[in-house]
Structure 1
Amino acid sequence: MYDMFVRPSGAAGEEGVRLMARSGTAMAREAVSLLGVEDPQARVLEIGFGPGLGIVALTGLLPAGEVIGVDPSEVSHRHAEARNAAAISRGNVVLLSGTAQALPLPDEHCDAAIFVDNLHFWPDPLEGLSEIRRVLRPGAPVVCAFTPPSGGPPSGLRRLFATAGFVDIEESVSANGSLLRAVHPSSV
Structure 2
Amino acid sequence: MQIIRTFLANQLGLPSGWFGRLLLRLLNRNNAVMNDLVLQLLDLHSGNRVLEIGFGGGDLMHKIVKTGKPALTVGIERSPDAMAFCRQRFHHLLKQGLVELHLADATALPFLEHHFHQICTVNTLYFWSDALQVLSECHRVLIPGGKIVISYNSKAFLEQQKFSQHGFAVYEVTEVETMLKAAGFKKITTVSGKSTHHQEFFCTCGVAGS
What TM-score, normalized by structure 1, do the two folds share? Answer: 0.90
Q: 1:13 deviation in Å?
A: 1.8
1:166 and 1:182 in contact (8 A); partners too? yes
SS in 1 for 2:108: coil
Residue 183 in structure 1 maps to residue 207 in structure 2: yes
In 2, the alpha carbon distance for the partners of 1:146 and 1:34 equals 14
Is the partner of 1:18 in helix, strand or coil?
A: helix
* Aligned twin of 2:25: 18
Secondary structure of 1:137's partner? strand
Deviation at 1:24, TM superposition (A): 1.7
Deviation string, structure 1 residues 36-86 (Cα, Å, up to 9, x no partner): 122x21100000000011111111224451001000111111222233233
The answer for the alignment partner of 2:129 in structure 1 is 123
Stretches of structure 2 lacking an aligned partner (at least 5 in a row): 1-7, 160-169, 196-200
Q: Partners of 1:22 and 1:173 in 2: how far apart?
A: 19
In structure 2, the partner of 1:33 is 40
What residue is the counterpart of 1:154 in the other structure?
A: 171
Give a deviation string over 1:66-117, Cα, whole Å, max 9, x none: 0010001111112222332332222100000102101111111111100000
How many Å separate the matches in 1 of 2:68 and 2:117? 12
User: Tell me, what secondary structure is at the counterpart of 1:37?
Assistant: coil
Structural RMSD (CA): 2.0
Q: State the number of aligned residues.
A: 185
- Any unmatched runs of 5+ in structure 1? none
2:139 corresponds to: 133
What is the deviation of 1:2?
Answer: 4.7
Matches within 5 A, 1:155-174: 155=172, 156-174=175-193
Larger Rg: 2
Question: Is the CA contact (8 Å cut-off) linking 1:8 and 1:76 kept in structure 2?
Answer: yes
Look up the equivalent residue of 2:49 and give its one-letter code.
R
d(CA) in 2 for partners of 1:62 and 1:147? Answer: 29
Q: 2:72 aligns with which of 54, 66, 69?
A: 66
Q: Look up the SS of the partner of 1:171 in the other structure.
A: strand
The 1:64/1:32 distance shift into structure 2, 3 A limit, reads closer
Q: Hey, what's the Cα distance between the residues in 2 that align with 1:114 and 1:5?
A: 18
Please report the TM-score for the alignment, with normalisation by the length of structure 2. 0.81
Between the aligned residues of both structures, percent identity stands at 28
Match of 1:100 among 92, 100, 106: 106
